[in-house]
A and B are shown apart, each in its own frame.
Chain A
Amino acid sequence: MKKTFAAILVIVMIFSLSAVALADDGKVFIMGIDPEYPPFSYLGDDGEYTGFDVEVCQAVCDYLGWKMEIFGVNWDEKLVQLDSLECDCVWSGMTILDSMKEAGYVISEPYYDNTQVLVVKEDSGLASSADLEGKIVAVQLGTSGEALLNGDLADLAATFGNIVTCDSFLKCFTELEGNAVDAVFVDLPVAASYAANHDGLLIIDEQLGAEQYGIAFRSGDAELCAQVEEAIQALVENGTYAEIASKSEYVDIVNNLLFLNANESAA
């Protein structure tokens, strides 16, 4: 009796071990995105999440044989959510900040060079950041733009009349179009894609707070980061990366993609 029981136990254990092994083969990789950040990550017309980062991540997972899942993070809580295992990375047009590295997060090689721009109304007569003295500027909470205004660009920020923080970039632009603010401080690609669909807006690009995008992983996940980086490199080499970037949706960002430009300069 006892022996039978032991035998069953052993069999059960073997099965569960192999189950674990199988699960490892079909690893699930949870990508943390800001679902409202086109063209990097957003809800597509078909109701599925899409965007440049999402497509690249999908290609990476396909390459590595992983199953990809998408988790929409609350952008200003993204690192907390990463720590609490709600996702395995934050990959969504995320600006690399020194504070992230200091806090121990593993950050990938930068893949995108971003700049912050000011968007104003064409008929406002505003043409440079100097014109915004005493004016109201909107910025999205949790974006690098906000961090810059509180940090490196604090001197510029001090000349503004007031800074309004909104919880989505759409609200920033609504405030602008509804004349509640005079300018929006936002990432260039976001500004470009919004201005392309809405008339009467002017982008003031003064190369403010040039910055780079990367992927954030938990502090213990250096290996995972390396795996993803290698996969991306492989995709760059086999042309998949360029193929994704060549889509018309990404026309505004293609020039700022570091890997492609590196290839070009090498070529």
Chain B
Amino acid sequence: MADFNNMESMGGQKARNILAVNALRKAFGSLQVLKDISLHVEQGNVVSVIGPSGSGKSTLLRCISFLEKADGGDILYDGQYAVKDGVYATKAELNRFRTRFGLVFQNFNLFPHYSVMKNITEPPMIRGENREIVTERASALLKKMGLEGKENAYPCQLSGGQQQRVAIARALALNPEILFFDEPTSALDPELTGEVLKVIRQLAEEKMTMVVVTHEMPFARAVSNRVIFMDKGVIVEEGHPEQVLGSPQQERTRQFLRNYQR
């Protein structure tokens, strides 16, 4: 805990911020979903975002992956502005920023008409990479995901857990600097969540930088360097997982965790 605080205070000097968000705002009509959200993710860190549904945590992830357009604030990748004061970079620049992150969806969103292999290899090939190199990388990733022999299967032939692991491999095939997970196990049967969480944990051990929106508290506690608790569009509490999940300072956090454990 002391270590953690130390790192936090030293900020950008020691570790490089892969992602930084300043005063991010987003409204759907009159509903303010994100109210001046600020956060940063250092290289090699895993940040878990928890909170009740409707708290804005998924919207946050969708804003930083450019799926939703923020109304104001900054988004920086590796110190470079993708969004500055609500003004977005050009289309071409945004596309370059997209190569820096990968996003894993709650519903996998694999392409059903592509084989597992093509799902993974086509995106890098579209970006101009060589087929052989990409295929080699994809095979290695599938092996790492425990999906050897599934190269030619179609998504509909796989279980939910397998599909999500393919989706993770697909995101990793683009060599992102940071990986976002939007409730990666929420659409899975309970007995299948383990295999997906295991893969994410493995990535954490390899020092992959990640932001995970999740409801899996034990997982968040075990894997994260930092936990953020969001409610009603604001960050209520953040800190080391032991602190936020073990001895929360805010009443809202305590209430959420109490409800969650019931």
- A–B interface present (Cβ within 8 A): no
